[in-house]
A and B are shown apart, each in its own frame.
Chain A
């Protein structure tokens, strides 16, 4: 099969088609894998992520927008202004499938526009439009306005950036369908630097399998498998935030910028409470049967929040427990505003939690914050700073640069709980030991979606392993999932398939869709190839090559709860074992590893 990309030169306002041949698709798949390969080849070493030589790849994959379950996603890749290495992020909603229906499997944004523009692709025809009237506007207005201009009340999809992306905040998120985010690594700032406000896609060209009958049969079987799996019911009923109480219960919920691991108000901001008080109905991405999204509305004494898609597990954690905020309506308000301003809810929670810690320590004062008391749990300050961060106003400019830059500026770099410059997610690796490997070895930094130790620590997939146990089996499982998840991000479907399906299921579907005589082993070797190739971007860049965890997690024990006294001192040993098993030295693939994986062209960069 072939993938057709649209190359948009924003400097010249011109378009060019780029067809990725079958042989290349089989080697790099699509989405994250293909994007990383193209980024490596086309983005020169050492360039400014916010300069004209950076590119943004918005890609689907072979099975996006098909009958395969949970295939309504897309992936974004580019050099990250937050980390300075390869950045990427994935989003659901409707954009991925509609991009394919528009006649293209992906878009490459190149150069820099002189004025704000938005791109439309309708039935295979691309067009750039003036977007001066949308610059400075939030995502809700932008989506509504573009739909009106494109006469698209129904169908089609809008991807866009908000004021945070326009003002090139490192914490900015690419949004689509108003509430869905390719949030991590700050690639919205790159679109902002290119003055590309939005993309509208619509069309009727549905991707077709080589063997339609066989693919349809396989897709239906996999649907049943996902539908009947135990975790699906809980995700449908309570959304991703169903995990809040469980992770908190085992004492692994990072609290107040990782100074504790049990949050006393967890149940008040849990998926159960959200469903009980504010849920209108579950909503899903295109073609989704799980429907983990939540349509909510909240009207309380303090807040009146319109109907919108509610915060996910990670958002509730980052802005809740991580900042000491236990007020669910306040978190709904925070989520609504962050989405509308186009900001990554995790990165905002990361940087706010760090700022609150520094304020409590007296390293940041009200003189710095413009009078705001950044004490733990101050929801009003969290809400106020959203606008200031998106517009880089006063102290908001410090927050816009991200956790690491903030902690360094105020003289306490160890308060930045990051890997590769990216703030960590909602699991404490001192209490869930497998996350030490997951966070330290993730190519883009952070990494709760690069491998997912929750599956074996809490779900028994593929088997149950004590979260407090330190052993090599967790290294093996991290490697397996890193290879599997990059395949999922590259054929481009949802990782929630990963609870009920594995690489054999994806192979079953990929073979009839593409016509390839592919085996599960080849697919997993492809995953390994992609993971190694992705790492080579950092190797060539000479930045963030070595895998390591933040000092606080290695040295400071958890003060209370079921994991009291535990640290992540085990990380060093497990990381060394990881390198050995991957065929790497100090975070760098060996020459023979690259050659074994048909990556010989990359050995010159070692």
Chain B
């Protein structure tokens, strides 16, 4: 099963899509940063700059793996496995 990557809010406009799937080999071990690098290669520098600042995730950009914020997992080194759902949010707020 591939990893499902979902984009929200302004990222949908920037990338022109809501979600995509990334295949992971059966023996492949993948960290979040590896997945992000694949996305940066696909979508370019503007997307990279919206996500990263000095090699870390920008403050107020939220990335969830199966609904758990990577800030409370292992940040950009959080491990990924088959069938994981990665959700990527730009800064949002509401009320």
**Binding partners A and B:** yes
Chain A interface (Cβ < 8 Å from any Cβ of B): 230-231, 233-235, 237-238, 240-246, 249-251, 267, 271-272, 312-314, 448-449, 452, 454, 458-460, 464, 466-469, 495-496, 499, 561-563
Which residues of chain B have C-beta atoms less than 8 A from A233's C-beta? 10, 90-91
Which residues of chain B have C-beta atoms less than 8 A from A466's C-beta? 69, 71-72
Which residues of chain A have C-beta atoms less than 8 A from B9's C-beta? 234, 237-238, 242, 245, 271-272
Mask of B46-79 contacts with A, CB within 8 angstroms, 1/0: 0000000000000110101011110110000000
Which residues of chain A have C-beta atoms less than 8 A from B10's C-beta? 233-234, 237-238
The answer to whether A459 and B91 touch (CB under 8 A), given A466-B72, A561-B67, is yes
The answer to whether A460 and B60 touch (CB under 8 A), given A243-B93, A495-B95, is yes
Closest chain B residue, CB of each to CB of A242: B92
Max chain A Cβ within 10 angstroms of own Cβ: one of B62, B67, B93: B93
CB distance from B68 to the nearest CB of A (A): 6
**Do A246 and B60 touch (CB < 8 A)?**
no
Closest chain B residue, CB of each to CB of A449: B95
Which residues of chain A have C-beta atoms less than 8 A from B72's C-beta? 464, 466, 468-469
Chain B residues bordering chain A, tally (CB within 8 A): 24
Q: Tell me the complex Cα distance, A409–B60, Å.
A: 45
**Do B91 and A452 touch (CB < 8 A)?**
no
Out of B8, B13, B89, B95, which one reaches A496, CB within 8 Å? B95
Contacts between chains A and B (CB distance < 8 A), count? 99
List 25 A-B residue pairs with CB atoms under 8 Å apart, sorted by A's residue number.
A230-B90, A233-B91, A235-B94, A237-B9, A240-B94, A242-B9, A245-B89, A246-B62, A246-B92, A249-B67, A249-B89, A250-B64, A250-B69, A271-B94, A272-B9, A448-B95, A449-B95, A459-B60, A459-B91, A460-B60, A460-B71, A464-B71, A464-B72, A468-B72, A562-B64
CB distance from A539 to the nearest CB of B (A): 29
Which residues of chain B have C-beta atoms less than 8 A from A272's C-beta? 8-9, 12
Which residues of chain A have C-beta atoms less than 8 A from B12's C-beta? 272
Cβ of B3 under 8 Å from chain A: no
Q: Tell me the complex Cα distance, A495–B72, Å.
A: 27
**Do A231 and B93 touch (CB < 8 A)?**
yes
CB distance from B2 to the nearest CB of A (A): 19
Closest chain B residue, CB of each to CB of A237: B10
Q: Tell me the complex Cα distance, A233–B87, Å.
A: 19
**Do B94 and A249 touch (CB < 8 A)?**
no
B17-72 contacts to A, CB under 8 A, are 18, 59-60, 62, 64, 66-69, 71-72
Which residues of chain B have C-beta atoms less than 8 A from A250's C-beta? 64, 67-69
**Do A313 and B92 touch (CB < 8 A)?**
no
CB distance from A519 to the nearest CB of B (A): 28
Which residues of chain B have C-beta atoms less than 8 A from A234's C-beta? 9-10, 90-93
